[in-house]
Amino acid sequence: MSGKNSFEPRIIGFLCRWCSYQGADLAGTSRRHYPPNMVPVRVMCSGRVDPTFVLKAIADGADGVLICGCHPGDCHYQSGNFNAMRRYPLLMKALEQFGIEKERVRLEWISASESEKFALVVKEMTETVRRLGPLEWNRRLFQEGQRKT
């Protein structure tokens, strides 16, 4: 990647199987256009998205992470998305301390019928992360300064 213009963000999306993944599916069958930068990972519930998944994605080189679940109250498992809702602000607080911009990790509620919202969120997030530039955590590690004079 030579400059910011040629930078294509890599975003990992954790999509809940019941709502958001269906919303993504609908976006596809409805032929909605959205950037191809988000790699979807289907999970059973947004509550299954352990903070470890987010950190692992970043540590392995993701520039952003998107977590999508059913709207509060609509969880297939009744309360899974409430767990996602409780984790997210605490995770964001920790990530901020790690020096990671809060726009890089986003939580959105997207139902199976909200294909338009899904396409919009992916588009917005891709543009935001593109502006922020590469995160490149996997290349950062230990490269700086471990030298002797």
Q: Note the residues at the interface with another protein (CB under 8 A).
A: 50-52, 54-56, 58-59, 72, 82-83, 85-87, 89-91, 93-94, 97-100, 137, 140-142, 144-149
Q: For residues 43 and 45, what is the distance between their CA atoms, to the nearest angstrom?
A: 6
Structure tokens of 50?
Answer: 């352990």
| Shortest separation between residue 11's beta carbon and another protein, angstroms | 18
Specify the residue, 25 or 101, whose C-beta has the smaller distance to another protein. Answer: 101
The least CB distance from residue 72 to another protein, in Å, is: 7
Q: Which is nearer to another protein, 104 or 115 (CB)?
A: 104
Which of 42, 86 has the CB closer to another protein?
Answer: 86
Are 35 and 8 in contact, with CB atoms under 8 Å apart?
no
Q: Which is nearer to another protein, 50 or 127 (CB)?
A: 50
**Shortest Å, Cβ 141 to another protein:** 6
**In angstroms, what is the minimal distance from the CB of 15 to another protein?**
19
**C-alpha angle 138-120-44 in degrees, rounded to nearest 5:** 65
Burial of 49 (0-12, 13-18, 19+ CB in 10 A): buried
User: Do the Cβ atoms of 13 and 49 come closer than 8 Å?
Assistant: no
- Contact call for residues 18 and 76 (beta carbons, < 8 A): yes
